[in-house]
């Protein structure tokens, strides 16, 4: 069967397609049907099944003879260490951790925040929660304490599992003080915190609240897997929306297992036993799906890589890891390749390693620019597959189904919709547009299994953000088109979300921080094109009347404030003090025009602009920092 056959078989009977895919999962009670649409446009999948994620990701492989296979390879050039954990060891470790959590009161449905760097213990913490039916929420280490506090208040965790520190090149990230600060700021307080002490920095434990990872497991009875309903939330992952309040994307257990398992062969073309590597971070959706869950559910070996594409120690690190661990399919963000390309344009490092193990490179997380794809293809001599998805979906919406049929690559397109996704391009009124016409990318409801059923604590926001604009569709927030061959092209976001180094960030959230500076009367943050990171935020601030402090001081205070409140990951380094912001006559800030000016791109003077002269002022301000040439 080729791609079209598989896609058509899904389209002609979606429920049969997914019931068939569900056969690959070990259920405690098989679901009697796939789709639940009584509450449409909210949908659920496999709701009456009973299943455990950890059992499917760990225990069943031990029972099926994979106990001695390596489940996790930790490769940490930043600490100069490597070690491997077999499936049997993983089972013992996770059962013990789950037992200790249970002994302290964690049960099915309780939330647990995980705040950890790229160490296997992060995956173990996720799996231990899954074992108990507890709902984890992993928070990326590059976020500041206040972002952590917002998440604590939203998901009200009974426990937080954290490491003492993370390690960035040249600096230690002090997780524990960040955690303590976040708990202090938050209204909700967890019952207890579990701290994994790393040897690079041992943290102070707070008596009565904090327990140490190892000692709290001493003498506990290991926990068995707790079966949960198919629609039980496996986890909550917060992602950036238009405002400062992050959206808590819920991942439903049954669909997550079924869909992720399906992708491993059909999209990533790996068989159980193969080594699969996604160079991302557990704090992002790629890390959830393709560092932790999918490879383990499918019986692969996954790599937890603690390092950067360059500088740890050089631009050959990725190639060393692939070659040494015999990675068959490799997944990274285009920005990582751009970093390598900048350092090693000829790809000399690649030639130093035996790369015969590698079958294909998969790119996602941001737009894959043609230069990067061509460079990667030339250096690596393997197919380069762009694929498009979102935190909300948890896996590929459009990709190249290499395990079914490798379709011809068209550079600039993530290829075609996967089974489960009826992708359409709509005009502003919600009507489908002809091929090759730009529009909003929408997906006909229902979304497939494993995608978000709603947002945590925020059903109204879910409807407003995704369902209301185009009734009967899910609005992706991306704009693009479909060509005559059915290939999809992703051009831009339609909202205030930007993508910096493959990290999804909200300009609205940054504006909220800038607006809180006492001297700032008004502000705008836009994402401008950046050669390395894809996009980069620039802040424009207008000062309150009477403020006569040096502009440079205010600008650097703004930069500091964003780093303190959102975190270093915002990569917010540039603030310009300007007299006025360009607006429409109705007062809307013309952010898109500001981006065009910064990028030195052509633009049409907006018909509704209030005062065109302000654009010239913006241009001059941008020129002082090397933009708007």
What distance in Å separates the CA atoms of residue 263 and residue 626, rounded to the nearest whole number? 44
281 interacts with, out of ligand COA, ligand AMP, none, CB within 5 to 8 A per kind: ligand COA
Assigned token pair, 520 = 């700032």
391 binds ligand AMP (CB under 6 A): yes
- Measured at CB, which residue is nearest to ligand COA? 365
What distance in Å separates the CA atoms of residue 408 and residue 260, rounded to the nearest whole number? 24
309 binds ligand COA (CB under 6 A): yes
With CB under 6 A as the rule, give the number of residues binding ligand COA: 26
- Give 47 or 137: the residue with its C-beta nearer to ligand COA: 137
- Give 521 or 532: the residue with its C-beta nearer to ligand COA: 532
- Give 169 or 370: the residue with its C-beta nearer to ligand AMP: 370
Assigned token pair, 398 = 């459009």
What distance in Å separates the CA atoms of residue 384 and residue 377, rounded to the nearest whole number? 6
Judged by CB under 6 A, the stretch of 8-16, 458-466, 476-484, 599-607 that binds ligand AMP is 476-484
Q: Smallest gap, in angstroms, from Cβ of residue 389 to ligand COA?
A: 10
Query: Is 604 exposed, middle or buried (CB count within 10 Å of its CB: 0-12, 13-18, 19+)?
Result: exposed
Judged by CB under 6 A, the stretch of 141-149, 261-269, 383-391, 530-538 that binds ligand AMP is 383-391
Contact at 8 Å (CB) between 480 and 441? Answer: yes
Q: Smallest gap, in angstroms, from Cβ of residue 224 to ligand AMP?
A: 34
70 interacts with, out of ligand AMP, ligand COA, none, CB within 5 to 8 A per kind: none
Query: Is 1 exposed, middle or buried (CB count within 10 Å of its CB: 0-12, 13-18, 19+)?
Result: exposed
**Of 119, 181, 123, which Cα lies nearest the Cα of 147?**
181
Q: Smallest gap, in angstroms, from Cβ of residue 600 to ligand AMP?
A: 22
85 strand-pairing partners: 72
386 interacts with, out of ligand AMP, ligand COA, none, CB within 5 to 8 A per kind: ligand AMP
Q: Smallest gap, in angstroms, from Cβ of residue 395 to ligand AMP?
A: 10
336 binds ligand COA (CB under 6 A): yes
504 binds ligand AMP (CB under 6 A): yes
What distance in Å separates the CA atoms of residue 389 and residue 502, rounded to the nearest whole number? 12
Region label for 501, one of left (φ > 0), alpha (ψ between -120 and 50) or beta (otherwise): left
What distance in Å separates the CA atoms of residue 302 and residue 86, rounded to the nearest whole number? 11
Choice from 137, 217, 266, 280 touching ligand COA (CB under 6 A): 280
Strands (E), 120-232: 135-138, 159-163, 166-168, 171-173, 192-196, 210-212, 228-229
- The three-state secondary structure class of 81 is strand
Across the chain, which distance is largest between two alpha carbons, in Å?
Answer: 74
Choice from 304, 368, 543, 569 touching ligand AMP (CB under 6 A): 368
Distances (CA, A) of 600 to 469, 595, 629: 32, 9, 6
Q: Smallest gap, in angstroms, from Cβ of residue 447 to ligand AMP?
A: 14
504 interacts with, out of ligand AMP, ligand COA, none, CB within 5 to 8 A per kind: ligand AMP
Q: Tokens 């009200």 map to which residue?
A: 156
217 binds ligand AMP (CB under 6 A): no
**Of 560, 554, 536, which Cα lies nearest the Cα of 627?**
536
Site string for ligand COA, 496-515 (x = CB under 6 A): ----xxx-------------
**H or E stretch including 73?**
strand 70-76
- Residue 486 CB neighbour total at 10 angstroms: 17
335 interacts with, out of ligand AMP, ligand COA, none, CB within 5 to 8 A per kind: ligand COA
- Give 18 or 572: the residue with its C-beta nearer to ligand COA: 572
- Give 288 or 325: the residue with its C-beta nearer to ligand AMP: 288
473 binds ligand AMP (CB under 6 A): no
**Of 356, 414, 405, 404, which Cα lies nearest the Cα of 384?**
414
DSSP codes joined into one string, 351-364: GGS--TT--EEEE-
366 binds ligand AMP (CB under 6 A): yes
- The three-state secondary structure class of 344 is coil
Q: Smallest gap, in angstroms, from Cβ of residue 528 to ligand AMP?
A: 16
- Give 96 or 372: the residue with its C-beta nearer to ligand AMP: 372
Q: Between residue 281 and residue 310, which ones bind ligand AMP under the rule CB under 6 A?
A: 285
Task: Return residues touching ligand COA (CB under 6 A).
Answer: 141-142, 166, 168, 173, 279-281, 284, 286, 308-310, 332-333, 335-336, 339, 365, 500-502, 533, 568-569, 571
Binding site for ligand AMP (CB under 6 A): 239, 285, 364-368, 386-388, 390-391, 414, 476-478, 490, 493, 499, 504
């Amino acid at each position: 069967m080729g791609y079209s056959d598989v896609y058509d078989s899904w389209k002609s009977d979606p429920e049969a397609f997914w019931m068939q895919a569900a056969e690959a999962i070990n259920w405690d009670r098989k679901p009697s049907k796939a789709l639940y649409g009584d509450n449409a446009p909210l949908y659920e999948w496999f709701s009456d099944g009973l299943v455990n994620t950890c059992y499917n990701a760990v225990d069943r492989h031990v029972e099926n003879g994979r106990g001695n296979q390596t489940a996790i390879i930790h490769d940490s050039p930043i600490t100069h260490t490597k070690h491997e954990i077999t499936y049997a060891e993983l089972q013992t470790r996770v059962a013990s951790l789950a037992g200790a959590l249970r002994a302290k009161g964690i049960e099915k449905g309780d939330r647990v925040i995980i705040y950890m760097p790229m160490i296997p213990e992060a995956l173990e913490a996720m799996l231990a929660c899954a074992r108990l039916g507890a709902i984890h929420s992993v928070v990326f280490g590059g976020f500041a304490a206040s972002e952590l506090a917002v998440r604590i208040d939203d998901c009200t965790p009974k426990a937080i599992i954290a490491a003492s520190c993370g390690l960035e090149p040249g600096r230690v990230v002090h997780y524990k003080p960040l955690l303590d600060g976040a708990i202090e700021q938050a209204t909700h307080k967890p019952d207890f915190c579990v701290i994994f002490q790393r040897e690079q920095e041992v943290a102070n434990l707070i008596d009565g609240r904090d327990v140490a990872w190892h000692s709290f497991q001493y003498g506990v009875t290991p926990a068995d897997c707790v079966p949960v309903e198919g629609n039980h939330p496996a986890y909550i992952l917060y992602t950036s929306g238009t405002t400062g309040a992050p959206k808590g994307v819920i991942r439903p257990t049954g669909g997550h297992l079924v869909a992720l398992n399906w992708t491993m062969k059909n999209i990533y073309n790996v068989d159980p036993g193969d080594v699969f590597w996604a160079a991302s971070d557990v704090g992002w959706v790629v890390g959830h799906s393709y560092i932790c869950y999918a490879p383990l559910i499918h019986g692969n070996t996954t790599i937890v890589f603690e390092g950067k594409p360059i500088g740890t120690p050089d631009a050959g690190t990725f190639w060393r890891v692939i070659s040494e661990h015999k990675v068959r399919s490799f997944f990274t963000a285009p920005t990582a390749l751009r970093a390598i390309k900048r350092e090693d344009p000829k790809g000399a490092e690649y030639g130093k390693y035996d790369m015969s193990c590698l079958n294909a490179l998969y790119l996602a997380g941001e737009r894959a620019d043609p230069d990067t794809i061509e460079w990667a293809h030339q250096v690596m001599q393997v197919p380069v597959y762009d694929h498009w998805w979102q935190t909300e979906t948890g896996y590929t919406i459009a990709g190249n189904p290499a395990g079914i049929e490798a379709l011809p690559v068209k550079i600039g397109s993530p290829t075609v919709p996967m089974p489960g996704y009826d992708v359409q391009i709509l005009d502003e009124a919600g009507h489908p547009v002809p091929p090759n016409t730009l529009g909003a990318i929408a997906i006909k409801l229902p979304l497939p299994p494993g995608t978000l059923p709603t947002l945590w604590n925020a059903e109204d926001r879910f409807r407003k953000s995704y369902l209301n604009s185009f009734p009967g569709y899910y609005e992706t927030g991306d704009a693009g088109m479909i060509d005559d061959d059915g290939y999809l092209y992703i051009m831009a976001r339609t909202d205030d979300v930007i993508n910096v180094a493959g990290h999804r960030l909200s300009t609205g959230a940054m504006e909220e921080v800038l607006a809180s500076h006492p001297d700032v009367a008004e502000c705008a943050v836009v994402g401008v094109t950046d050669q390395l990171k894809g996009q980069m935020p620039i802040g424009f601030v207008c000062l309150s009347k009477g403020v006569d402090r040096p502009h440079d001081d205010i600008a650097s205070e703004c930069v500091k404030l964003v780093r303190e409140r959102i975190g270093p990951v915002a990569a917010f380094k540039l603030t310009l003090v300007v007299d006025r912001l360009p607006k429409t006559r109705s007062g809307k800030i013309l952010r898109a025009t500001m981006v065009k000016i910064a990028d030195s791109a052509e633009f049409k003077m907006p018909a509704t602009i209030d005062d065109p002269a302000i654009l010239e002022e913006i241009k001059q301000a941008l020129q002082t920092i090397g933009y708007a040439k």
